[in-house]
Structure 1
């Protein structure tokens, strides 16, 4: 059965929308990411305007993240103190990001900026994560190999305002997670992502958090940042399609529960390797579409 999406102004099959939500929800629970890095490009591939895909996906991420956090809370894998610091930076960053989104949309450049942002960030993060995970897997398979730390202490760990995060077993400056949260907040507004594909590796490699705690804590922060983005986008740009978001939400809540269970079956380096491959696949697809010659070299868009 097809349904008309009023804000996107196209018709889509309900089964496809729910299936997309379920698949991305599964990845959310599996990797500790909101899934926006995958869902937003998929919606664009299916004909949803990029601006609508970005704003609507932030709404769907809220639901899938809540479902994933509840599952990880039962396992005790959420550092609420760390999540609160990341959240504070994320709210500030996402608010500034929506202002930037509105400005770019008025200039008529938002679609290009969204796609280029995905290609650049997904390509860099995916390559680095894949390289690290392959090295770790090869190292652990060598006889007599010793485990090494994922992160090394540098000048960042000497910043002031240090706090103790007992669940993550860390004693670091609060400025570091605050800055990471703010940066990811800006990306959440511009790219329609929870920022997990950047947040997760940053929490592991820069903050030095255990992988098991990173997943739940990342989802906790994502909930409130994407909720803030959804509210601001609804008020300022009117690009949130709640009909589309509701169907994606339905599938995402179910998929996240299965993804959380599956995450317990894989080691940390295996999870990072799989996430890196998915990130690179999306990057290649978007880059290929940008390089193709468009059917219409010129187009006219009527401002509403």
Structure 2
């Protein structure tokens, strides 16, 4: 029980670190006219490409032809939905400071996008935002280069494994692919959502005397100490600025952690940052200071490598959706970041728990229909559709109510922000 609580705290802190990077990158893009023009051009090209898909052009699957995925055509509704999804994810990231990326893949799948396409598109969206932002250099001073290199070698191998597995399952049975991705999200969001709600109730019972934005303490003993005692070359030195001589650990252990992160990132489409933090802190014994910089660096390379090598060249990225999400998230993050100055932390923690649990219920209620299509359970089509619709409605109602609340708070209290 104690380990699970520590894991939740670490995952939450990882999401907060990623959210802070996301806010900085988004702010950097919005303040630069050249980058905004580049985004407009990229969006226009995506729209033109989608219109080409809707025509009678017979494009090869390696370029995203109609044999690669469905839908492989543009509709105004799909583009508007992608902006709305990006906006909601941005509001969660900016206001709550964590968790916005977790809702994107479930939201896209609920909107009718196949799971593998949702994963590839989300990875490309993360990568596009990363390469357009310039806030990364502020964090690079925290990075241990040797630690990062060993980790990225492992994450590269993991990305290849996760991407190949995702595509093999899809090629064997597209329904099984959706079910597989849904199961991963059910397990992860169920764990995070449960602990987030317990955390919120505990804080509310305590009268919000505990810092609702705070993190936990990390213990460098136990497993980290045992791994650091294993002298398996090559040895990597890190945290030199925090203790005399720094700490040392085998590069093989670092690469193994990278392999797991890359594998999960390629399957889920979330960049893998949520796993880097607990692995570095609780498995390798790396300080939070060094972990944050290395985590941000690996997100950029892992997301980029996965998006291009495992999804883009096989036609599993919907570029119009990615640009729509990017446009929406840039606006949402800015609004959310302002609103967080006006709302008590206890309410932010509660909304975070509700958003994560909404994603969990959404994917859980979609599972019976997928299993029935694969003939694993006996369930008539009407019941399966009914359950799926319940999950979709609950998900979009919760996220929609949150989005409306944040936007209304922003506009009704904008004078307070101006005075501040």
Residues 154-169 of structure 1: matches in 2 within 5 Å? 154-159=222-227, 160=230, 161-166=235-240
Q: CA deviation at 1:178?
A: 2.6
Structure of greater relative contact order (alpha carbons < 8 Å, 6+ residues apart): 1
Q: Which residue of 1 aligns with 2:262?
A: 185
Output the CA distance in 2 between the equivalents of 1:168 and 1:254: 38
Give 1:102's aligned residue: 167
TM-score by length of 2: 0.55
Structure-1 residue corresponding to 2:320 = 243
Q: Number of matched residues?
A: 291
Work out the CA distance in 2 between the residues paired with 1:133 and 1:259. 20
Partner in structure 1 of residue 367 of structure 2: 290
Structure 1 gaps of 5+ residues are 299-304
Does the aligned pair in 1 maintain the 2:91–2:333 contact within 8 Å?
yes
Indicate yes or no: 2:156 matched with 1:117. Answer: no
The match for 2:297 among 210, 215, 220 is 220
What SS class does the counterpart of residue 240 from structure 1 fall into? coil
The residue number in structure 2 matching 1:302 is none
For 1:241 and 1:283, the matched residues in 2 are separated by 24
1:11 corresponding residue in structure 2: 75
The alignment's C-alpha RMSD in Å is: 4.3
Partner SS state of residue 315, structure 2? coil
1: CA distance between counterparts of 2:280 and 2:325? 28
Query: Quick check: 1:27–1:256 contact (8 Å CA) kept in 2?
Result: yes
CA distances 1:194-213 after superposition (whole Å, capped 9, x unpaired): 12333344444444556576
- Aligned pair 1:23/2:88, yes or no? yes
For residue 154 of structure 2, the aligned residue among 84, 89, 96 is: 89
2:247 is aligned, of 146, 161, 171, to 171
Cα distance between partner residues in 2 of 1:202 and 1:238: 32
Contact 2:224–2:285 (8 Å) recurs in 1: no
Q: Is the 8 A contact 2:109 2:115 kept in 1?
A: yes
Alpha-carbon distance in 2 for matches of 1:72, 1:26: 21
1:279 is aligned, of 353, 356, 361, to 356
Change (3 A) 1:40 1:87: same
Q: TM-score, normalised by structure 1?
A: 0.73
More helix by share: 2
Q: Please tell me whether the aligned partners of residues 44 and 50 of structure 1 are also in contact (alpha carbons under 8 angstroms).
A: yes
Alignment CA distance shift 1:203-1:22 (3 Å)? farther
Judged with a 3 Å threshold, the aligned counterparts in structure 2 of structure 1 residues 290 and 202 are, in CA distance, closer, same or farther, namely same
1:150 paired residue number = 218
Counterpart-to-counterpart distance in 2, 1:260 and 1:74: 19
Moved more, 10-19 or 280-289: 10-19
- Choose 1 or 2 for highest CA Rg: 2
